[in-house]
């Protein structure tokens, strides 16, 4: 399954080592992405918060490479 189409919950179940990356992108007003958007797709979260797609995906994929 393509990472961008997975929900944050699915990603965390499959790749728990990615949690630290998500916390890097917690919002400026203190909202936790995993707390607020757990059931949304990564693609929707990236768009909603105007996150740099390439940067975030690269950081997440690096975590998979370390398995």
pLDDT tens-digit series, residues 21-46: 999 999 877 889 999 999 999 999 99
Higher pLDDT: 47 or 65? It is 47
Structurally, the chain folds into a number of domains equal to 1
Parent domain of 28: 3-65
Q: Residue 49 carries which DSSP code? A: T
Mean pLDDT of 3-27: 94
CATH number for the domain harbouring residue 18: 1.10.3910
Query: Using CA atoms, how far apart are residues 47 and 22, in angstroms rounded to an integer?
Result: 14
Nearest Cα residue to 19 out of 31, 6, 35: 35
Query: Using CA atoms, how far apart are residues 37 and 30, in angstroms rounded to an integer?
Result: 13
């Amino acid at each position: 399954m393509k990472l961008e189409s997975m929900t944050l919950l699915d990603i965390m179940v499959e790749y728990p080592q990615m949690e630290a990356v998500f916390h890097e992108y917690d919002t400026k007003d203190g909202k936790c992405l995993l707390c607020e958007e757990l059931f949304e797709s990564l693609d929707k979260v990236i768009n909603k918060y105007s996150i740099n797609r390439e940067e975030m995906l690269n950081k997440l994929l690096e975590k998979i490479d370390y398995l």
